[in-house]
Structure 1
Amino acid sequence: MKKLLYITDQDEYMDHSFIAPLFETYLKKHLTVDIVYFTEFKSDFEQKDSHRFTMPTRYKNILLDELNRNDVPIDSYDYIMVRNDISLMQHVLEEKKKYHYKTAFRLSIPKRRVQIRCCIAEGETTFLDKMTDKFKTFNETKIINECDAFLPTSPSMHKEFFPHVTTKTIICPPGIDPKMLHPNIQHRGEEKRFFYSGTLDKVREFETVLDAFSQLDSATWKLIISTRDPQYAHQLVSQYKGFENNIEIHNAKTKDALLDLIAKADIGVALLPDYPVYNTSTPVKIFDYYTSAIPCIMTGTEHTNTVFTDCNDAWFSKFERDAIKEKLEYIISLSKDSITEVGIKGQKRLLDIKNYEKIAEDIAMKLEAL
């Protein structure tokens, strides 16, 4: 079996809910996969198990030598893949002739563009940032084109952020884990329970969603929020008087705790502004919802339109208060059985086309063909 070294840009203590099922479970059916995580908190290399290693970040610029020194033989790998870190990718490319591996660059999120969007939301000047971004993108494109493969999250991410990358492309999307399907717990309350999971900040403009809820004629709804910053969520919700009892705020500490909360809801919420950093891939929260067959109201974009069908296996809305309000009223008017049916259809759709088991098989086959 051929060997892949996957060099992440993640700290060992971060949520690895994307990496774990795809690279630690399903891809290992086709390749021997070793994974490198980084840490700011340890001074020495650590082998967590036979296939996972933790490296102090200070060794990034000599990573391969340091792995060799710790009995991780680089010449044993057929492929080395780097996630998001272009400097690490350049380092791996520089060592390629010595070890004769194939190289791949994985783009999971355009971090610099996200930061620019954050600055815009905070009202900060971004002219120089945008000019720097163009220059850096030009240089990054040259580096990626030296690789044997480029793995963006979606074709639209490739088109939007790296249109001049011409090396072989292998799409590496988020997906649903068929082994993690979570029972949907049908609550007995009369209200329709909506659930939002994820970050709340100025960029995501969640007040637009709250504005829509505040305009609803019906009071038979509840919005449950799970976020890592519950204080910000409370501050945001406190601006809306009259429906405090309709909103619950949680901070699920683990993936299992999050899925337990989602399973008790009726509808997932994945409404995000129509910015390229959000609309060029399917938000991971959508997969979390459909893991429990919870159907989702989401922003209708060119990307989501290729995955779901409005009013069949999901609901689409423009990211505007009145449009969201109209779609929420429609959903609240539906019977619970009708909502459940939409969720079941959506889960089946994802299991058919965005299934980690199938994604891993496709990636392994395309790596083999390099």
Structure 2
Amino acid sequence: MDKFLYLTDQNENTEHSFIGPLFEKYLGKHLEVDIMYFSKTSDKFEIKNKNHFIMPLKHKHDIINELDRNKIYIGKYKYVFVRNHTAILKEVINVKHEYNFILGYRLSFPKRIAKLQKDEANNKKSFFDVISNKVKTFSEANLINQCDIFLPTSRQMRDDYLKSVKTRTFIIPSAIDPEVLHENIQHDGIEKRFFYAGTLDKLREFETILEAFCLVDPTQFKLMISTKDPEYAQTMIEKYPDIKENIELYNANNKAQLLDLIAKADVGLASLPDIVLFNSSTPMKVLDYYSSAVPCLMTKNENNASIFEDNYSAWMCEFDKNAIKDKIEEIVSLSKEEVSKVGIQGQNRLLDIRNYKRIADDLVHQLNIL
């Protein structure tokens, strides 16, 4: 089989719930895939599981030479892909003329834009930050245009942030693994259990969702929250004493724990502010919810509407406390069977258009025609 090298920006200990299924499991059925991760703790280059290259972080600006020193020659690969890291991409481009590999660039999430908008939400954005971002975006687009293929999470992400990119584009969205689905565990309570997974900060305006729940009969719901910053969450919850007793706070340490919690919920929450950053792709939490056939309440935007149908495979509304309140009340009025049906229909929809096996098969087809 042809050899494929994926140079990631990820730490070796990070849960690779996207990279593992798509690149290693399913793309690995077509190509001999090697994946490079970084280590913040090791000073020595290692090879784990035969195809995981663990690169000490101190070598992040000298990737190719360090691979060479360990007898991993980039010229032996037919495909070399870089994930998110433009400095690594530039290094690979500098040697591309020496070899005959096909070069791809994967943009999973516009982290720099996210930081800029987060700083704006916290009143920390400066004029210098805006100018710096424009310069870096121009440079990034120029590098991508020297690649053979560009793989953003959505076409909207490319159009919103990298309009000048002309390279062939193949969309790789968040998806679910058709071989790893989880049973939805029905609880005994009469209330509907809502679940929110992920970051809580000013940019996400989670207070809007809490304000919506304050307008709903508290006997009708429980709200489960799993976040990496439970102290921030607890401080936020204290501001809403009327629903405090209805909220259960968790800190899932890994994806397995998170999926166990999600499986016990009735409805997932993915309502986010109507801004370009959140509208350009499907949050990973949505895929986690539907892996357990847990239907989702999400923001009504073009991206979500292109995948799901309101009141059939998901629920959608504007990001407004009254609109969210109305949808919550609509959901709690449904029977458990009606709620579960929406989850199953949503999961089936994702299995049709957003599953890693199909994406990997389509990617191989795109690579074969380059």
Give the TM-score taking structure 2 as reference length: 0.98
Aligned residue number for residue 325 of structure 1: 325
2:216 counterpart SS class: coil
Aligned residue number for residue 193 of structure 2: 193
Quote how far apart the aligned CAs of 1:126 are. 2.9
What CA distance in whole angstroms lies between the structure 2 residues aligned with 1:60 and 1:38? 8
What CA distance in whole angstroms lies between the structure 2 residues aligned with 1:75 and 1:86? 20
2:185 counterpart SS class: coil
User: Residues 81-101 of structure 1, C-alpha deviation per residue, up to 9 Å, x if partnerless?
Assistant: 000011110100101122221
Quote how far apart the aligned CAs of 1:355 are. 0.6
Amino acid at match of 1:18: F
The answer to whether residue 358 in structure 2 is matched with residue 358 in structure 1 is yes
1:7 counterpart SS class: strand
Amino acid at match of 1:160: D
What CA distance in whole angstroms lies between the structure 2 residues aligned with 1:126 and 1:29? 48
Aligned residue number for residue 367 of structure 2: 367
2:138 counterpart SS class: helix
Aligned residue number for residue 167 of structure 1: 167
Q: How does 1:4-83 map to 2 (within 5 A)?
A: 4-83=4-83
Amino acid at match of 2:127: F
What CA distance in whole angstroms lies between the structure 2 residues aligned with 1:222 and 1:127? 43
What CA distance in whole angstroms lies between the structure 2 residues aligned with 1:160 and 1:2? 34
1:95 counterpart SS class: helix
Quote how far apart the aligned CAs of 1:284 are. 0.4
1:203 counterpart SS class: helix
TM superposition outliers: structure 1 runs of 4+ over 2 Å = none
Quote how far apart the aligned CAs of 1:45 are. 0.4
Q: In terms of mean alpha carbon deviation, does 303-312 or 210-219 score higher?
A: 210-219
Quote how far apart the aligned CAs of 1:316 are. 0.3
Conserved 8 A contact 2:116-2:125: no
What CA distance in whole angstroms lies between the structure 2 residues aligned with 1:356 and 1:76? 26
What CA distance in whole angstroms lies between the structure 2 residues aligned with 1:277 and 1:364? 29
Q: How does 1:1-370 map to 2 (within 5 A)?
A: 1-370=1-370
Conserved 8 A contact 2:213-2:243: no
What CA distance in whole angstroms lies between the structure 2 residues aligned with 1:308 and 1:156? 17
1:143 counterpart SS class: helix
User: Residues 330-369 of structure 1, C-alpha deviation per residue, up to 9 Å, x if partnerless?
Assistant: 1111111110100000000000000100011111111121
Conserved 8 A contact 2:3-2:78: yes
CA RMSD in angstroms comes to: 1.0
Amino acid at match of 2:343: G
Conserved 8 A contact 2:218-2:246: no
Gaps of 5+ in 1: none
Number of aligned residue pairs: give it.
370
Amino acid at match of 2:73: P
Amino acid at match of 2:114: V
What CA distance in whole angstroms lies between the structure 2 residues aligned with 1:213 and 1:237? 12
Amino acid at match of 2:93: L
Amino acid at match of 1:352: D
> Percent of counterpart pairs with the same letter?
49
Conserved 8 A contact 2:218-2:243: no
Amino acid at match of 2:284: V
Conserved 8 A contact 1:107-1:151: yes
1:357 counterpart SS class: helix
Conserved 8 A contact 1:312-1:342: yes
What CA distance in whole angstroms lies between the structure 1 residues aligned with 2:232 and 2:154? 31
2:287 counterpart SS class: helix
What CA distance in whole angstroms lies between the structure 2 residues aligned with 1:59 and 1:313? 46
What CA distance in whole angstroms lies between the structure 1 residues aligned with 2:218 and 2:251? 27
2:97 counterpart SS class: helix
Quote how far apart the aligned CAs of 1:234 are. 0.7
Give the TM-score taking structure 1 as reference length: 0.98
Amino acid at match of 2:50: S
User: Residues 192-249 of structure 1, C-alpha deviation per residue, up to 9 Å, x if partnerless?
Assistant: 0000011111111100100100111352100000111111111110110122221000
Conserved 8 A contact 1:116-1:126: no
Conserved 8 A contact 1:27-1:360: yes
What CA distance in whole angstroms lies between the structure 1 residues aligned with 2:46 and 2:276? 38
